[in-house]
Structure 1
């Protein structure tokens, strides 16, 4: 792939699921603090995308076997940086991350389809069965080998997201006069901030796929251009939608801004575009995980029955988790805060420090990248000696922010998942029909629109049926509701 196409492909892989939750994250963290956090994370994740790309270039430059097809480029980066034991840890984190993202996107696509059917056909279809239907429709595209065979998925995903951004902005502007008069922002809580940080981390993370995409480029050393292009486009997508959504709807926002849009055709169109984005992104996200499983099981690289069986098993496992925890928002926050922070911030910084020290040490000692010296794992002293001061400062900053921010966000996300109105797993609901639909959740929405204002009862038209008020930000409201 050309570097420009690769940049578009990366945007298609990143934007979408995080986009619809970002206005909520900005509101949840405090408007000004949220915008500043968003901009800081833009810089951090652009830098880690760049250094991760440089790690792969170092591998290809010093180990010729990586210039041909490689199933697990990210894991190989960790192996050459630190060693075999760390490779296993990284592989586990990558698989959990990709698996978690896939579950979140399955939930989001299914939720959007349910809302669309509810809005246009006034029919409440079972959310649990929609998850299965989405998985079945998706499976034929999951058996493609690698990104070079489905580069078009990234292009389509970016186009659909761009259309969704424009419509979210138009819908927010149309609702602004009505909703901003009753808009309130929740009181700042550190727990809410870390939950919001998990959403922001999810919106920018996606690095485990980057080496796989880079490996399929015509000129892998041009990935820096692709990364800068991708995160620049993401910033122009995320900022307008986040600012307008937060300023218009305030604390009436819930998991997704889509349900707050009060123009029905705009809400439905955004639902369609985001759902298409998510489906095409799932093709990209499942691929590294599928290749990891095939490597462990010894599945041939050529297409055959065992590829179908292994990839079908991975998809079935994702469906099972989605049916077990059918809540889009908390799952998104948990994935973004935990393993995604490790794979998109912490690991790239650590690997870059190690690989740069290896290469520079070998060149300075022998005048060229000596194979024996390259294979030596550098000491902590070597890392400090053979990396520039700027690189050390930047990577250390990323590591600290990743550990502190990711740790706090993970704790808050787990607390939210446990303490806020747990949903019954789909396969248990038939045995407890009286407990289904009694609280907020992806599977139990009475309407398809969250009305605005502090009391969530303001709408632009009397034709709009509002969802029941819900204390999403834990402000102590609606206790008697």
Structure 2
């Protein structure tokens, strides 16, 4: 039980305490600040970092770098807001994103605003990681054994999913710390491989930095998709309160201190991953870069095979971070609202069913990235870019026209713009992909 709650007087019944000690988010509160670092790196630095050079090629040098840097600054600011608001009510911790939303907007409205958007991000990310893991496994096989008989992408996704049927039964965030740490190291590793291998390739004489398409409509859709690619690279906010919930807290030493330290270190690592890959990748290949820079590199074969294996290990950890938040949401609903008894059989059923469902959707729609671009635009941008700002304005009530008030409204305007434009590119990707797609190919 949390010492902050003890100091303020804990009104929970013995049954409520037992439930909280069983649920994934609140069952363990002994994490250190560095847990925050690698959990946040794992949650944020997805394989999407490999598409950043492609995004810059759609936006051009100036605008592309500006959007990438602005997204880094804005999301660092909104992350700070969420860390600060975790314990803004004395003796109470908002351990989940929707609990913070309920405090700001009311019990029912808060759930209605936050939960659907958070679920789109978390479940959608899990499905995309299933696809990414399967395709990276396929690329690894093609790299190490180019003469082997090719297998369907479906089989590789099924192989990748088998790991999660085992890891899904780790009880809470702290129990997946080793997996998350390995994933964070891997994300840094394949990012370094991407930009160092690009530098090794050297400057291309015929490199072209003009827009990828000369057709205005194609260029516009490409820019919308690129905005989505960059915005979706900063999605860790959806699990940040759940991560902070695992850190111990007392009135003298609240959790926001070690949590924020971990977040700052995580964001430095994010910058080390994102900016070199985006800038060097585009500098070397120009508008000829593929949407996955590892495909553009192709050689040396052993290095690209290693990078794909690093991607596989990373998305294993990323899947566990996002799915753990979903498990907590489902299990909380079942035991608190539906009055199910907390048990290992309930946990086994919930988690096995979730992994099976995300696997099925991944093998059915392996172009889910486009689908996520369409629907995720309505969830990634709000939960990361401007929903924390709206909650801050509602709860903290900064003076109208003050620096804080202006900063928050600037973030809201940027976030809403991304929310409106990014799905357009995703919808076009779905239409183009669905036209030539064959199920379970």
2:414 aligned residue? 401
- TM-aligned CA distance change 1:183 to 1:101, over 3 Å: same
**Length, aligned pairs only:** 393
2:124 aligned residue? 100
Structure 2, unaligned runs of 5 or more: 1-30, 250-254
**Alpha-carbon distance, 1:217 to partner:** 1.2
Which of 178, 192, 205 does residue 166 from structure 1 map onto?
Answer: 192
Deviates more, 1:117-126 or 1:43-52: 117-126
**Alpha-carbon distance, 1:279 to partner:** 0.8
Aligned counterparts of 1:319 and 1:255: Cα–Cα separation in 2: 24
Deviation digits for residues 153-189 of structure 1 (CA, Å, limit 9, x no counterpart): 2211111112112211221012224x45344541472
Aligned counterparts of 1:336 and 1:18: Cα–Cα separation in 2: 14
- The 5 Å alignment of 1:269-288 reads 269-288=306-325
**Alpha-carbon distance, 1:264 to partner:** 1.0
CA contact (8 A) 1:55 1:355 kept: no
Which of 50, 56, 79 does residue 86 from structure 2 map onto?
Answer: 56
**Alpha-carbon distance, 1:331 to partner:** 4.4
Structure 1, unaligned runs of 5 or more: 357-382, 430-481
**Alpha-carbon distance, 1:212 to partner:** 0.4
1:199 equivalenced with 2:229 (yes/no): yes
CA contact (8 A) 1:325 1:425 kept: no
Deviation digits for residues 331-381 of structure 1 (CA, Å, limit 9, x no counterpart): 45346533111111221111122222xxxxxxxxxxxxxxxxxxxxxxxxx
1:130 equivalenced with 2:159 (yes/no): no
Which of 426, 430, 440 does residue 417 from structure 1 map onto?
Answer: 430
- The 5 Å alignment of 1:372-411 reads 383=397, 385=399, 389-411=402-424
2:97 aligned residue? 74
**Alpha-carbon distance, 1:397 to partner:** 0.9
CA contact (8 A) 1:198 1:334 kept: no
CA contact (8 A) 2:194 2:294 kept: yes
Which of structures 1 and 2 has the bigger CA Rg?
Answer: 1
Aligned counterparts of 2:343 and 2:237: Cα–Cα separation in 1: 26
2:378 aligned residue? 338
CA contact (8 A) 2:195 2:281 kept: yes
Deviates more, 1:322-331 or 1:269-278: 322-331
1:228 equivalenced with 2:264 (yes/no): yes
Deviates more, 1:269-278 or 1:300-309: 300-309
- TM-aligned CA distance change 1:27 to 1:46, over 3 Å: same
Q: Secondary structure at the match of 2:86?
A: helix
1:289 aligned residue? 326
- TM-aligned CA distance change 1:216 to 1:418, over 3 Å: same
CA RMSD of aligned residues (A): 2.2
Q: TM-score, normalised by structure 1?
A: 0.77
Deviation digits for residues 412-468 of structure 1 (CA, Å, limit 9, x no counterpart): 2112221356453534x5xxxxxxxxxxxxxxxxxxxxxxxxxxxxxxxxxxxxxxx
Q: TM-score, normalised by structure 2?
A: 0.83
1:449 aligned residue? none
1:308 equivalenced with 2:348 (yes/no): yes
Aligned counterparts of 2:372 and 2:310: Cα–Cα separation in 1: 19
Aligned counterparts of 1:25 and 1:394: Cα–Cα separation in 2: 26
- TM-aligned CA distance change 1:329 to 1:253, over 3 Å: farther
Aligned counterparts of 1:97 and 1:328: Cα–Cα separation in 2: 13
Q: Secondary structure at the match of 1:58?
A: coil
